[in-house]
Structure 1
Amino acid sequence: MREAFGSFCYSDEGSPLEPCHVHVTNGDGEAKFWLGGEVSVAYNQGLNRRDLAIAMLIVRANRSVLERAWHGYFG
């Protein structure tokens, strides 16, 4: 059975603060997606091509929720 994806932001996202993004993880690795403009992959560490594509679909489908959460936390 494939492990579920989780998404999160680190509480210390650099100084100056990095642009709006989300980190996505599963049991195999982690990827970071930029949310501003077109959703794009900032980096991928360990997700295979299929899982990265699925993560991209999930991020795109939930973009507005993720952006609101990011701006709600970071201001």
Structure 2
Amino acid sequence: MPKVFDWNGYRFHFFANEGDPREPPHIHVTRGRDTAKFWLRPDVSLAYDRGFPPRVLSELARVIEARRDDIESAWHDFFA
């Protein structure tokens, strides 16, 4: 599970096996037992959430938006 970065105790990562055919670029976020998945395009949007409160999801979406280019670069470098 390649880690892209950590932020305030949250781990931003993707899985090495992202399906066949591979899903479009996205990022998983975990902290403890809570997890969420966000699509990166066309806009950052929540794919699913298991445990994070709405306020945290909004903040995570802002972080992902700010780091979207870094996340996409890591995605393409790994899956190239």
Post-superposition shift, 1:27? 2.5
Instruction: Using structure 1 for the length normalisation, give the TM-score.
Output: 0.90
How high is the sequence identity, in percent, across the aligned residues?
Answer: 40
Cα distance in structure 1, aligned partners of 2:31 and 2:62: 15
Contact preservation (8 Å) 1:29, 1:47: yes
AA in 2 matched with 1:36 = R
Post-superposition shift, 1:72? 0.6
Q: Point out the structure with the larger strand share.
A: 2
Higher RCO, Cα 8 Å, sep 6+: 1
Instruction: Using structure 2 for the length normalisation, give the TM-score.
Output: 0.84
C-alpha RMSD of the superposition? 1.2
Count residues in correspondence. Answer: 73
Could you list the runs of 5+ residues in structure 2 that have no partner in the other structure? 1-7
Report the equivalent of 1:63.
68
Give structure 1 regions of 4+ aligned residues with deviation exceeding 4 angstroms: none
